[in-house]
A and B are shown apart, each in its own frame.
Chain A
Amino acid sequence: SQQGEEDPQALSIQEGENATMNCSYKTSINNLQWYRQNSGRGLVHLILIRSNEREKHSGRLRVTLDTSKKSSSLLITASRAADTASYFCATDGGAQKLVFGQGTRLTINP
């Protein structure tokens, strides 16, 4: 069953602004991952944060994890038109299976 909930469902911002997406989950996890999906395409792995980590950076991406609140956030700084895509969080509870959130559709306006 889907356990990830993401908000907002859709986000539209101007190029250059920062975009923040949030993800909540219900059960304990080993790690949480963020993926990007361009329309009609497969998933691109962005970043993985382990349950014992609180923050992780990768280029313009910053991910936080709060296991006490069972939530994570993805921040994209200095957004570009090419960042337009859907973003999904996925949790791995240790059963080799990923459970995906509903996703946030991000639109970057030039």
Chain B
Amino acid sequence: GAVVSQHPSRVICKSGTSVKIECRSLDFQATTMFWYRQFPKKSLMLMATSNEGSKATYEQGVEKDKFLINHASLTLSTLTVTSAHPEDSSFYICSARGAFLAGGYNEQFFGPGTRLTVL
């Protein structure tokens, strides 16, 4: 159980285009989803936190208009990289947290990641 998928796993696009990445919790309802960015041989940097039905909370330095996040349902969040440029090339990973334990600790489950290459 607790599987998170991402689609696509890999995407190559031209500079100036927009790319949408989907994150789905397959067998649980995700009250909160997180989006991370990872550069080669580096750690994960949290970009934003999204709760179903409300606006995402972005980390300092992350452009809201550049990285649009929509958490329209309890099983789906999308990250759209708008007007992508080569410097947006990165590995994007989502995670999802459910509400299995009322009052307890609910861990995050990570998707397999999406590698974005902007030419």
Set of chain A residues within 8 Å of B43, measured between Cβ atoms: 2, 4, 88, 100-103
**Max chain A Cβ within 10 angstroms of own Cβ: one of B6, B45, B105, B110:** B110
CB of B46 closer than 8 Å to a CB of A: yes
Quick one: given A40-B91, A40-B113, A42-B112, are A100 and B107 in contact (CB under 8 Å)? no
Report 7 cross-chain contacts, Cβ distance below 8 Å, ordered by A residue. Answer: A2-B43, A43-B93, A44-B110, A48-B105, A48-B107, A88-B44, A98-B46
Set of chain A residues within 8 Å of B25, measured between Cβ atoms: none
What is the distance, in angstroms, from B5's C-beta to the closest C-beta of chain A? 10
CB of A45 closer than 8 Å to a CB of B: yes
Q: Is the CB of A42 within 8 A of B113?
A: yes
CB of A60 closer than 8 Å to a CB of B: no
Set of chain B residues within 8 Å of A24, measured between Cβ atoms: none
Set of chain A residues within 8 Å of B42, measured between Cβ atoms: 102-103
How many chain A residues touch the partner (CB < 8 A)? 25
- Which residues of B pack against A, CB within 8 Å? 4, 6, 32, 34, 41-46, 49, 91, 93, 95, 97, 105, 107-113, 115
Q: Which secondary structure dominates chain A's binding surface?
A: strand
Set of chain B residues within 8 Å of A100, measured between Cβ atoms: 43-45
Set of chain A residues within 8 Å of B46, measured between Cβ atoms: 97-99
CB of A31 closer than 8 Å to a CB of B: yes
